[in-house]
A and B are shown apart, each in its own frame.
Chain A
Amino acid sequence: MLQGSVTSLEVFFLTLVFAVPLALPVAAGRMTKNKILSAVTKIFLLIIRGTPLMLQLLVVYFGPGLLCIWINKQFGTDIRLTWPRFLAANVALIINYAAYFAEIYRGGIESVPQGQYEAAKVLGYTKNQTFFYIILPQVVKRIIPAMGNEVITLVKDTALVQIIGVSELLRVAQETQSRLFSFMPLFVAGVFYFVMNWAVEAIFVRIEKRLAYYK
């Protein structure tokens, strides 16, 4: 079960590390004045947020292989494509979480009063300076509660990657349970998720406190 929890932690951290920055360009795409780009981003967000994560895991893992079979049938070729489960699991989670994070970022960016942009412009800040010095720090403060929520969900969503055969904690716990005929492994898994989220919550409370020096 130790190996299982390590896998769960790996999925968690990899998703977080890649989805947090990836969501920024997605949010930018959603807010851009370029109509084509913003339409494409909107459709992407609609699909990702409108379908089950479990389904997305299946599509990402089996999709390339099924696509090859179809191509081979059409053109008589013999291409084969499979990829590691662990990698596929992470890619699916990163795409899914980037979509949710992007919408949180957008909410944060749009909630900063227009006057902040105007003050920065009149003071001569460039657009980049305005975003990175004036807007972004205020966005971070505004999105912390929503991000905390989402990260707690991520801890629990790592359990879904077992659908494509990744041996994460809950799957290992289930196997151990049927092997030992004991409830204990499931209980231990539950405690693990709980403690993990306890830590996540504590970290977010700390960040919130650190940013409480201004309103």
Chain B
Amino acid sequence: MEQSEEIIRVENLSKSFGTTEVIRDISFSVYKGEVLGIIGPSGSGKSTILRCITQLESVSGGSITICGRSLVKDCVYAGKKELRDIALKVGLVFQNFNLFPHYSVLKNVTDAQIHVLGKSKEEAEYTAAQLLARVGLSAKADSYPCELSGGQQQRVSIARSLALKPEVLLFDEPTSALDPELTGEILAVIKDLAAEKMTMVVVTHEMAFARDTSNHIIFMDGGVIVEEGSPQEVINNPKQTRTRSFLARFNA
């Protein structure tokens, strides 16, 4: 397979909170159209990686490059304007949705387009209508988030992220707050996006989903990458003992 454009490059990334090292010397790349699955036990640093890439946390060491532009190089951050430009290339879907409760579903999807990208209201609403149709929520455009189920809220938040046309969409345990039925709804949406070659990084505890959707899997524990490779290798035939014990219940 020919190597396509590199969307995210993480090199020797480390992050500490006080004296606790959460991430230690991690490197990986995500290429255009690829889905990277990150699995591992709670507290292994998976979410922190996404939070570093989206600038919600500052790194303690290492470099992050997004679409060829340096976000942080050897722990030195780019200028304010560059950081903002880079931030717009990356979308993030949160575990607990974080929709804006005072805005209707439609406004949740249009507001950032208008205030951040400077689009006209008509243009923003046209884009929003398409995205809401895509996640199956056209009928809910005028509802408020509190009137929706968790699965519906998460689908709105995916539409909200897509509305800004990011180069890559990151998912931080998008189904962990949902029951199994609603989980299916969200996974179906992500699978659709994968089929359309959307570049994505998915942190998840849904092993079957990670195996079936990802092109590449990273298994993390204790802030380091323990094992990585194709889904078949890592999930079906793990080589490391730690990976095996983590997946024991799944593979049993």
Q: A and B from one assembly? A: yes
Chain A interfacial positions (CB closer than 8 Å to B):
113, 115-116, 118-119, 121-125, 129, 133-134, 137-138, 141, 213-215
Decide: A122 and B144 in contact? CB cutoff 8 A: no
30 contacts between A and B (CB under 8 A): A113-B98, A115-B96, A116-B100, A118-B56, A118-B94, A119-B94, A121-B56, A122-B54, A122-B56, A123-B116, A123-B160, A123-B164, A124-B84, A124-B88, A124-B112, A124-B164, A125-B115, A125-B116, A129-B115, A129-B116, A133-B111, A133-B115, A134-B100, A141-B102, A213-B144, A214-B102, A214-B145, A214-B146, A215-B101, A215-B146
Interface residue? B92 (CB, 8 A)? yes
Across the interface, do A122 and B91 meet the contact criterion of CB distance under 8 Å? yes
CB-based contact A122/B92 at 8 Å: yes
CA separation between A215 and B100, bound complex, in Å? 10
Residue numbers in B under 8 Å from A137 (CB-CB): 102
Which B residues lie within 8 Å of A119 (CB)?
94, 98-100, 157
Closest to A114 in B: B98
- Knowing A122-B87, A133-B111, A213-B144 are in contact, say whether A138-B116 is a contact too (CB < 8 A): no
Please, how many angstroms separate the alpha-carbon atoms of A124 and B161 in the complex?
11
Q: How large is the interface on B (under 10, 10 to 19, 20 to 34, 35 or more residues)?
A: 20 to 34
Q: Is B58 an interface residue, CB under 8 A from the partner?
A: no
Contact B112 A123, beta carbon cutoff 8 Å: yes
A11–B144 alpha-carbon span in the complex (Å): 40
Q: Is B215 an interface residue (CB 8 A)?
A: no
Q: Residue B55 at the A interface, CB < 8 A?
A: yes
B residues within 8 A CB of A215? 101, 146
Closest 10 CB pairs of A and B: A119-B98, A115-B98, A215-B146, A124-B116, A123-B112, A122-B92, A214-B144, A137-B102, A214-B101, A124-B88
* Residue in contact with A115 in the complex, picked from B54, B94, B117, CB distance below 8 Å: B94
In the complex, which residues of chain A have a beta carbon less than 8 angstroms from the beta carbon of B117?
A: 124
The residue in chain A whose Cβ has the minimal distance to the Cβ of B91 is A122
Give the CA-CA distance A116 to B111 in the complex, in Å.
14
Q: Given the known A-B contacts A123-B112, A123-B160, are A118 and B98 also in contact in the complex, defined by CB atoms under 8 Å?
A: yes
Minimum Cβ distance to chain A for residue B150 (Å): 14
Q: Using an 8 Å CB-CB cutoff, how does the interface string of B80-109 with A read, 1 for contact, 0 for none?
A: 000010011011101010111110000000
Interchain CB contact under 8 A, B100 and A125 = no
Please tell me if the beta carbons of A125 and B146 are within 8 angstroms of each other in the complex. Answer: no
Closest residue on chain B to residue A125 by CB atoms: B116
User: Which chain A residue shows the least CB distance to B96?
Assistant: A115
State in angstroms the CA–CA spacing of A125 and B111 once bound together.
10
A115 to B115 CA separation, bound complex (whole angstroms): 19
Chain A residues with Cβ below 8 Å from B157 are: 119
| Least CB separation from A115: chain B residue | B98
**B104 → A minimal CB distance (Å):** 9
Instruction: Indicate the member of B55, B56, B100, B145 with the most A CB atoms within 10 Å.
Output: B100
- The CA-CA distance from A124 to B116 in the complex, in Å, is 6
Residues of A within 8 A of B84 (CB): 124
Q: Which of B55, B115, B146 contacts A121 (CB 8 A)?
A: B55
Q: How many whole Å from A126's CB to the nearest CB in chain B?
A: 8
Q: Given the complex, which residues of B lie within 8 Å of A129, measured CB to CB?
A: 115-116
Chain B 52-84: CB-based contact to A (< 8 A → 1; otherwise 0):
001110000000000000000000000000001
Nearest A residue to B160 via CB reads A123
A27 smallest CB distance to B (angstroms): 20
Residue of B nearest to A138 (CB): B102
How distant is the Cα of A129 from the Cα of B116 in the complex, in angstroms? 9
Closest to B146 in A: A215
Q: Which residues of B contact A115 (CB under 8 A)?
A: 94, 96, 98
